[in-house]
Amino acid sequence: MKQMKTVTRPARTTQVLDFIRCELCGTQTQTPSCWSDYEIFHQDEVTIQREEGKNYPEGSGQRIVVDLCSTCFQNKLLPWIVAQGGAPRTEDWDG
C-alpha cells in the first residue's frame, strides 16, 4: 500500500532572457538572432566579442561581449572602422 502525503514545493526561480539592449542606441530585442523586425526564418545577428584564456587542458577564460544592434553596426561601427583604415569584408554564409 502506498501512503500519500501532501507536500508544498517552493516555486523555482530561474534566469531567462528578457531582452538585449544595444550598447549605443538602447534599442531592445528579445530575439538575439534578429535585431530587425522579426520575421520567421530571417536572421539579422551581430556578434562582437573577444575571448581570452587557455584552450588546454580544460579550456577556460573570459569573454568580453558588446551588444550592438544591426543598425548601429552598419551605421556607426563599420564607418568608424573604415575611418580608422580598416576594410571590413563581406562573406556569404549558409547553414
Residue type, 27: T
| Grid cell at residue 71 | 543598425
Q: Using the 8-state DSSP alphabet, how is residue 81 labeled?
A: H
**22 lies in the binding site for Zn ion (CB under 5 A):** yes
Closest CA to 23 of 79, 74, 68, 72: 68
**How far apart are alpha carbons 21 and 5 in whole angstroms?**
47
46 binds Zn ion (CB under 5 A): no
81 binds Zn ion (CB under 5 A): no
Residue number with CB closer to Zn ion (33 or 61): 33
Interface with Zn ion includes 72 (CB under 5 A)?
yes
CB 46, min distance to Zn ion, A: 9
Stretch that binds Zn ion, among 2-10, 13-21, 49-57, 72-80 (CB under 5 A): 72-80
Q: How many residues sit in the footprint of Zn ion (CB under 5 A)?
A: 6
Verify binding: residue 66, Zn ion, rule CB under 5 A: no
CB burial readout 18-33, b (16+ within 10 A) else e = eebebebeebebeeee
**Binding segment for Zn ion among 39-47, 57-65, 71-79, 83-91 (CB under 5 A)?**
71-79
